[in-house]
A and B are shown apart, each in its own frame.
Chain A
Amino acid sequence: MMQSLKKGGGSFRHLLGLDGVPVETIELILDQAVHMKDIMARPFKKVPAMRGTTVVNFFVEPSTRTRTSFSLAEKHLSADTVSFSPSTSSLSKGETLLDTARNLEAMQPDILVIRHHATGAPHFLARALNCSVVNAGDGIHEHPTQALLDLFTIRENKGKLAGLKVVIAGDIAHSRVARSGIFGMVSCGMDVRVAGPRTMLPKGIESLGVKVFDRLEPAVEGTDVVMMLRIQRERLGEALFPSAREYFRFFGLTPDVLALADKDAIVMHPGPINRCVEIDHDIADGPRSVILDQVTNGIAVRMAVLHLVNQARLEALGLGVSVTAQAKTTEEGS
């Protein structure tokens, strides 16, 4: 969300989405993530940057990699963390989201990382609570840290972002990864294409600055990055596509389709992957796949986001230091 970030600056209290976030802010996060990745490469990957900071991971929707990634990022930065899920919280006893969140806040956390199945839930909590809120995925809306780690991975592999051609293929309509990816990529000057069966292409998507294709082959042609989205098998009952077999035949990424992309094109996927539904075995495990790099980079990017959010919090308390100085401290702290 635009209001969640200060345009052109490095200070932000919440990260709710990438819609309206300028390229300068995205670059600041990605640059910070480079430092964080260095830290991760050290034998003792822990710095005191967030010592004394309490982070609550509030995952109302199931998650494995995002929750683990946030959790590791917090530990690397020495934050104190607590994790909640519906089955271990009072949500399962009928407590409302607001009441649960207020009770959590009464325990005085500094940052709340939330994943929720309802679009706008992080925005709602950011309004209602005093602590900082980081969106770890809300409904079909946004998943900003996934988009940032995708951008980081692309930049790491290609050395730049502006001018690159990328195709995002799959269920665009129901994908928060696609939305945040589009916002971030367009902001960074990338040439973005989306592709999928028409049942999975939302009306008006071209207004976000992308080219729309209802076949995969022409969309992949000449691209530098091919990003496949997970097909949610639970959507089989929603008449979006007839079968996994037909989907793979017409919209799956096979070697023949990938051959249409640039010879140096990389293949991405936010995971978890459905082999031989949206992506072929050989491609998922092949030399052009950066899927596992995305997972590693996710920790670095989330470290950067948490660090910057925390810094904005400290600045608001009159305890802040500049981003550059803080980054330096982070390095020295190791």
Chain B
Amino acid sequence: MSDSGLLLDPFKGTTGKISSGLCSELGLDAETPFRYVVPSLVDLVAFPQEPGNEHRETLADLARAAQLGGVGLVGLMPDVIPVADHDGVIRTLRDGAKTGATGIEFIPHGALSVGLLHEDIAPMGELKAAGVRMVTDGGRPIQNTGFMRRILEYARNFELPVLMRPMDSYLSAGGLAPEGPAATRYGLPPIPDASERLGVLRAGEMALLTDADVVLFPIVTEQGLDALEAVRSRGARVRAGTALPYLIWNVHHMQSYDGLYRVDPPLSRPSDVQALAQAVRNGTLDFVASGHRAVNASEKETELPIAEPGMASLAHLWSLLQQISAEQEIPVLDLVKCMTVGPAQILGLDSWGPQVGVVDGIPPEIVGELQGMARNMPDFGVDTQRLSVQWGSSGSSIAIMGAAL
């Protein structure tokens, strides 16, 4: 039993020692030197590829990746083919978890507009009846503010939070880097900070106008955070989060012109990474999501501008959290809060934890192979020890070991 192992309870905000009794209670091997014992995580935003792009990743593989990453509940974005704008696709997505892993739960987010075309409002009532807890633009920002208003008003009717991407599509068109010295030096089409800032301010104004429950994702710039605080100070009900890659890599990694670093929106400046880390520490950001998006190797091994954006981060989640904690000096407990308490509250699962969500009967050891799974991830933290996840057999607690994958 490792003396340094920590029991992290994000709901109480406490840190304690791992005891033999606890291990026994959770069905964990008391002899294993666990680094952390934590509740299983909630990943609010992952991009499934099935149906429509199963060649990239099936729902079964996504569930396996979640298991490897210690994630018990995965929120799925709706931009699959066909778009998750009706209950049939919602059921397909929800049931997909069972095909890959026991005990992993998918919560599909409904499309806020039919086909995500932002012309007609999606049947939100039916979507909610099918189990949807949130609707979203699926990462395709609404540019018609009048339509955004109607969406927010209608979603308010069904008490559905609305997750939107804060961005001005015209300012961001074709961009591969934040505007500034790095983009200019590397010859990358730039995106001004004003794009995200305008997106936050516009959504904030609409939240005030409609009293809707607005969730913004992803915030990737310091200017976006500044705008977030501005709209909150006016009383707007706006929650926000970022994705893991933006807490690790920055625009200078794009100097390699390696498609693995292509994410959407593009990686930010080092100063933005620091501001995001501070926002996690001080609670300005409510959640951190994986933003997991699997793509094929051939879609990455190509010219940077046409490389498919996305990183398949879910299976590596705990290794990434460990690296973020070390590099950005964020206590692991704060990161865990952003991947349990924050997203659970947004989804209305306020008591997420051992008693909610993941069922008993999870195999005690699921340190799986990565073979056959999406690998579109750049190298990270070669000096950082890879962490693997062991699930407890009781409730949704998981244990994180320091063993190498």
Q: Which residues of A contact B (CB under 8 A)?
A: 1, 19, 96-98, 116, 118-121, 123-124, 127-128, 138-142, 176, 179, 202-205, 207-208
Contacts and interface: CB of A to CB of B under 8 A. Distances in A.
B185 A123 contact: no
Interface in B157-193: 176, 179-190, 192
A55 B105 CA distance: 56
B305 interface: yes
14 contacts: A96-B302, A119-B186, A119-B257, A119-B305, A120-B257, A121-B304, A124-B259, A128-B301, A139-B305, A141-B188, A142-B187, A202-B179, A202-B190, A204-B179
Interface in B273-327: 298, 301-306
Contact of B182 (A120, A140, A204): A204
Contacts of A205: 184
Contacts of A121: 257, 303-304
Given A118-B303, A120-B303, A208 B298 contact: no
Contacts of A127: 256, 258
B184 A139 contact: no
Interface in B172-226: 176, 179-190, 192
B287 to A, nearest CB: 31
Top-10 shortest CB links A-B:
A120-B257, A141-B187, A204-B181, A118-B303, A207-B181, A204-B180, A202-B184, A123-B257, A119-B187, A120-B304
Interface of B: 176, 179-190, 192, 255-259, 298, 301-306
A59 to B, nearest CB: 15
A96 B187 contact: no
Contacts of B189: 119, 140
A138 B257 CA distance: 12
A323 B185 CA distance: 31
A20 to B, nearest CB: 10
Given A97-B302, A98-B298, 9 more contacts: A1-B255, A119-B176, A119-B189, A119-B257, A120-B187, A202-B183, A203-B192, A204-B184, A207-B184
A179 B184 CA distance: 8
Majority DSSP secondary structure for residues of A touching B: mixed
A131 B256 CA distance: 18
B257 A204 contact: no
Contact of B304 (A119, A179, A207): A119
Contact of B184 (A1, A123, A138, A208): A208
B183 A204 contact: yes
Contacts of A176: 187
Given A96-B302, A203-B179, A124 B257 contact: yes
A8 B103 CA distance: 60
Given A123-B256, A124-B257, A202-B190, A118 B185 contact: no
Given A98-B302, A118-B305, A207 B185 contact: yes
Q: Which of A120, A140, A202 has its CB near the most chain B CB atoms (within 10 A)?
A: A120
Contacts of A204: 179-185
Contacts of A207: 181, 184-185
B402 to A, nearest CB: 33
A118 B179 contact: no
